[in-house]
Amino acid sequence: MENTNNLFFREIELAGEIYRVSDLPSALGGSLARLPIVLRLLAENVLRNTDGRERDEAVAAIRAWLPAGTSDAEIAYQPGRVLMHDTTSTPALVDIAAMRNALDEAGVAPEVLNPCLPVDVSIDHSLAVEAYASRDAATVNLQTEIRRNAERYRFLRWASSALDNVRIHPPGTGIMHTINLEQLATVVTTECRDGHIWAVPDMMLGTDSHTPMVNGIGVLGWGVGGLEAQTVMFGMPTMLRIPDVIGVRLTGALRAGIQASDLALVVTNRLRVLGVTGEFVEFFGPGVSTLSAGDRSVVANMAPEYGATTGFFAVDEHTLAYLRSTGRSESHLRLVEAYARLQGIWFDPQAHPRYSREIEIDLSAIGWHIAGPRRPQDLLDYGDSAKALEAVHFEPASAGNIPCHAVALAAITSCTNTSDPVLLIAAGLVARKARALGLRVPHWVKTSLAPGSPAAASYLERAGLLDDLAAIGFGIVGFGCTTCIGNSGPLTTPIRDAQQAGQAKAVAILSGNRNFPGRVHPDIELSFIMSPPMVIAFGLAGDASRNLRDEAVQATEDGTPVYLEDLMPSRNEVLEILARANSPEDYARDFAIASQNPAWHAIEAPATALFPWDEKSTALRRPPFASLSEGSLLGEYQAYPLLIVGDDVTTDHISPASGIPPDSLVADYLVERGDDRNDLNVFASRRGNWEVMMRAAFHSKTLNNLLAPQAPVAHTLHVPSGDVEPIWEVAQRYRQEGQSVVLLAGERYGMGSSRDWAAKGQRLLGIRAVLAVSFERIHRSNLIGMGILPLKFPEGIGPASLRLRPGDRVEIHAPSESLAPRAPVDVKILRKNGSVESLQATAAVETLLEVALLRTGGVMPSILLKAVSDAKKTAGSGVA
Ligand code: SF4
């Protein structure tokens, strides 16, 4: 092994080839083994991507993290790639297209604006379950998706040809996080820099909160908003405070028949109780070695549900086994192992690094679980759904023909629980046993199976389980997000009728990761999340309040009761089938076949540097905020609250993704422009049209606007007129009157997905600052990306204690020059009766880069100012 005697990198032989690598062991010295592995990886990133004083200070700060297990120091992070999906990429790419227009208008060649990192875009979020329980359901749903989204997909095809470094994975290729695990992740990557071949850890960012799924195979990556992704795409690092790292020590082993989904729900519950928002989580201890990489990825996937940035598992033999089982080459596996061992990032079950805080989970104590009916952290024993539903206090208006808490949707859905073949094979075995016993899903239940990977069809078919699943209604409806993102399609007629008559409050049963009211369907407030085999069991029961611990799932034709234990397979049964049915060749081949999707390739795209906007389009409009003239919203001002909301307001509340109600104002706007009221698609499909999304902001039946509690959906109060009008119209009135507006919120404002439209919508409404008790991490960052100042109330103060009344105003003192990370900001409450209350809020701003973004008005003005300045420098230097 050769060492060039450079402290920061060296040339070595790994798996028979010579590579340049960061010299992590020399840089970290004795600290290496005591630091959590996620911090070792951040140190590697700093070593490779910074230099001089910045590098020395960052490495020293990471070493200095050890004594206290915490730090206030900021470091730069530069991922090697970015992953997006169609609904976050469309607005990001629309922004880039609009920024190209802005450059063109400023006299700068638009072609100069291109992402400098590889950007993978998965088109997975727009597939809806229109057809189900039929042989051609997947084909019908795919055709419907492409027809409905034709204009948006034409734009994405333009982006992939007009922009450098953008690669699009068409509809049908699977769910982004499964694609990441199976196709994109290398764990250790090789790249050419300055004429040398480097071996580097695969590190990434994704514009989706479930990006940490890839942490399950030792790839460091997390979810960011589309705006933060734009920052890194255009060559700026993302800055982060060296995180606290929560160590979760796993002991024991899962008992036979207990699934990774059960473990993920337990972890979610335990970490939500502990409180890990915004922190990194790393799993360690001997229990880790009993989990497959598939199990780990399920647990890692739910990091946003436990509130963490990551849920990291380091590389070991199980990681290599996963890479092998999904078709990666043996030579690559050798490189991964050699690199991880050399750099001290290979997992050791006996090691006990220093963590900021620790908890221990005994895997052998975990049983079958479900979670709900409104939040993923509300863990229940699988027999306790009835108890949880009792708390809902639903009194049926009259007796109906279906159970009062009938199962409306039984969906095997989501990257979380359809990426691990073990879970789908377990579901298939439940289906096989149910089929053999002649059990049927009741007619009111809408069933679906939407795997994350087309390879799932191959291994299920080889195992003969595809037939069993289809026979009881769980045939494949496509490869995409479907029910998990709210694209569950229409409910069955018996459910719709019973709900309308007040006879039932139906429940969704899904193997997803989130169950906020309205998330999976606008008319479904209650949902339980659980493992895929358990979804089938509840689907067969047809009644979400059935206690499957003590009561039968169903009876056979001759009246013999069938219990859950009769249906659930043992782990050995599953593993035996997996060994026979899985073929490593499936993964690359099936993905390549799906990528050739002829309907996708038939979409014609314009071949121009500037996108030709169509003034009549209802899908794509040039957004006003991607411009050089957007100014900073900082300053000293008085403002009316546009809305006041309570705790746990999610990004689904702020910017819905689900179906556009045909009787809504948004529908009226679209119909006036020629769209068909009965085929308006989902809000998420309109994120290229800012006029729709501005009207859609806060369009949620379950959002309670404390300023006007009785107002219709998406309405608020205008002061002083007292008029209750659509929110965007009230916002327009305030703008015309020269009034500023702010928003007040309770705890965890912006929970849920990473959608940047939740922040863009607020910017379009003119909101200058959001004052909240606390913010969810990604939404806080998105607000800053749009130039909106997030402010935290002082301890003990919030909308509930302030009791603002119509006519009360808020005065904010946040001049640009005095803003700093976590700086105090003076706020006054100006009561209508003339009294004044002062309080000191805190800027929820973490880094100097965020301060700079707020000073320029957000990410897009910053990118444009830099592009113009670079162009001037180039022109000044005489370079053409
Ligand atoms: S969590 Fe759901 S919506 Fe998000 S990527 Fe996974 S399947 Fe799609």
Full 3-state SS string of 624-661: CCCCCCCCCCCEEEEEEEEEECCCCCEHHHHCCCCECC
- Say if residue 3's pLDDT is above 50: no
- Say if residue 1's pLDDT is above 70: no
- 193 pLDDT band (50/70/90 cuts)? confident
Nearest residue (by CA) to ligand 1, atom 3, is: 485
> Ligand 1 atom closest to Cα of 753?
4
Any bridge partners for residue 220, and if so which? 203
DSSP-derived letter for residue 447 is E
Which tokens hold the place of 292?
């497959």
Write the pLDDT tens digit of every residue in 508-532. 999 999 888 888 998 999 999 999 9
> Ligand 1 atom closest to Cα of 413?
7
Which tokens hold the place of 525?
């407030």
- 51 pLDDT band (50/70/90 cuts)? confident
Angle at 91 between CA 89 and CA 96, to 5 degrees: 90
Write the pLDDT tens digit of every residue in 623-670. 999 998 888 999 999 999 999 999 999 999 999 987 899 999 999 999
346 and 314 Cβ atoms separated by less than 8 Å: yes
> Ligand 1 atom closest to Cα of 485?
3
Q: What separation in Å is there between the alpha carbon of 303 and the centre of ligand 1?
A: 13
519 Cβ inside 6 Å of ligand 1: no
521 Cβ inside 6 Å of ligand 1: no
510 Cβ inside 6 Å of ligand 1: no
pLDDT at 877: 62
176 Cβ inside 6 Å of ligand 1: yes
- 53 pLDDT band (50/70/90 cuts)? confident
- 871 pLDDT band (50/70/90 cuts)? confident
513 Cβ inside 6 Å of ligand 1: yes
210 Cβ inside 6 Å of ligand 1: yes
Nearest residue (by CA) to ligand 1, atom 6, is: 415
d(CA 56, CA 631): 36
Q: What separation in Å is there between the alpha carbon of 210 and the centre of ligand 1?
A: 7
Which tokens hold the place of 804?
């603002």
414 Cβ inside 6 Å of ligand 1: yes
Q: What separation in Å is there between the alpha carbon of 851 and the centre of ligand 1?
A: 31
- 14 pLDDT band (50/70/90 cuts)? confident
Write the pLDDT tens digit of every residue in 61-98. 999 999 999 998 889 999 999 999 998 898 899 999 99
- 754 pLDDT band (50/70/90 cuts)? low
- Say if residue 778's pLDDT is above 90: no
- Say if residue 2's pLDDT is above 80: no
pLDDT at 52: 85
Most confident of 235-249, 405-419, 668-682, 774-788: 405-419
- CA dist 485 to 423, 511, 520, 626, Å? 20, 12, 6, 27
- Say if residue 143's pLDDT is above 90: yes
Q: What separation in Å is there between the alpha carbon of 611 and the centre of ligand 1?
A: 29
pLDDT at 7: 58
pLDDT at 826: 98
> Ligand 1 atom closest to Cα of 176?
5
- Say if residue 4's pLDDT is above 70: no
- Say if residue 397's pLDDT is above 70: yes
The set of residues, in sequence order, having a beta carbon less than 8 Å from that of 283 and lying 6+ positions away, is 247, 248, 249, 250, 296, 299, 311, 312, 313
- 274 pLDDT band (50/70/90 cuts)? very high
- Say if residue 260's pLDDT is above 80: yes
> Ligand 1 atom closest to Cα of 209?
4
Nearest residue (by CA) to ligand 1, atom 7, is: 414
Conformation bin of residue 245: beta by default, left when phi > 0, alpha when psi is -120 to 50: beta
d(CA 849, CA 237): 9
715 Cβ inside 6 Å of ligand 1: no
Mean pLDDT of the chain, nearest integer: 94
- 6 pLDDT band (50/70/90 cuts)? low
| This prediction's pTM | 0.86
